[in-house]
Amino acid sequence: MKIDSHQHFWKYKQEEYAWISDQMNLLKRDHLPAELFSILTNAGYDGSIAVQARQSLKETDWLLKLASENDFIKAVVGWVNLFSENIDEQLSNYKLNRKFVGIRHVLQDEPDDDFMLGAGFCKGIKTLAKYDLTYDLLIFPKHLKIATKLVQQFPVQKFILDHAGKPCIKERAFEPWKNEITILARNPNVFCKLSGMVTEADWQNWKPADFVPYLDILFESFGPSRLMIGSDWPVCTIAGDYSHVMNLVENYISNLSATEKKAILGENAVSIYRLH
């Protein structure tokens, strides 16, 4: 299967999506499965993984409902309160749904850069392995060193770095991202999504060559067995249409072996998220 490992759905309400700025007007509307299904299948993909965009159990439940109604949504990375006293109960209940595969918290928006190392958060992370759930890391380059400390504390926990750790592509900057991504990738329990990169570039003027040096670093650091393609739809649409975004990675890997291409375009996602 070819799998888009990272996309979102929402019914737009301004107060619930405050992060959508006026520069992102294209996103200020509903984005629902029927629309993505058409785009996805036209691009030759068999399914996708829906990822949380709000920090609420209500959204997690809604995403799981969408997944139950749409077979192409192969899995959901939802949100739960990792600080909750009844975290075990929450996770055991959600785990009854075969499409519930992982957790994400919007770490990049936390005012404390060390938030992910806090005792309460780490206590929650510790419970995930028991339920064979992944954890998606949504962070900026400044957080990579802190994330390394986190993943080293939980060597059996699978962590997935979203959006390649958001390198500063528009500024053509590499450090500290390059150094820290190399160190983070030395931990075999960390995987990486080749997603969300166009929105870190110049939205109006990027070209495929802009991404090559960053992809070179990611492939050198993680290798084809720990990388997976993702669109970050609909967020990606502020900088390019779906096919152009996916083609950035597809064209980059065109000279790899058939086995490596299949891994990046779907098989790694199937394995890492244990898609059924």
Q: What is the pLDDT of residue 1?
A: 93
Q: What is the pLDDT of residue 18?
A: 87
Name the region of 166 (left: φ>0; alpha: ψ -120 to 50; beta: rest). Answer: left
In whole angstroms, give the CA distance from residue 41 to residue 146.
38
Residuewise pLDDT in 10s, the chain (276 residues): 999 999 999 999 999 998 899 999 999 999 999 999 999 999 999 999 999 999 999 999 999 999 999 999 999 999 999 999 999 999 999 999 999 999 999 999 999 999 999 999 999 999 999 999 999 999 999 999 999 999 999 999 999 999 999 999 999 999 999 999 999 999 999 999 999 999 999 999 999 999 999 999 999 999 999 999 999 999 999 999 999 999 999 999 999 999 999 999 999 999 999 996
Q: What is the pTM of this model?
A: 0.97
Q: What is the pLDDT of residue 73?
A: 98
Domains of the chain: 3-272 (3.20.20.140)
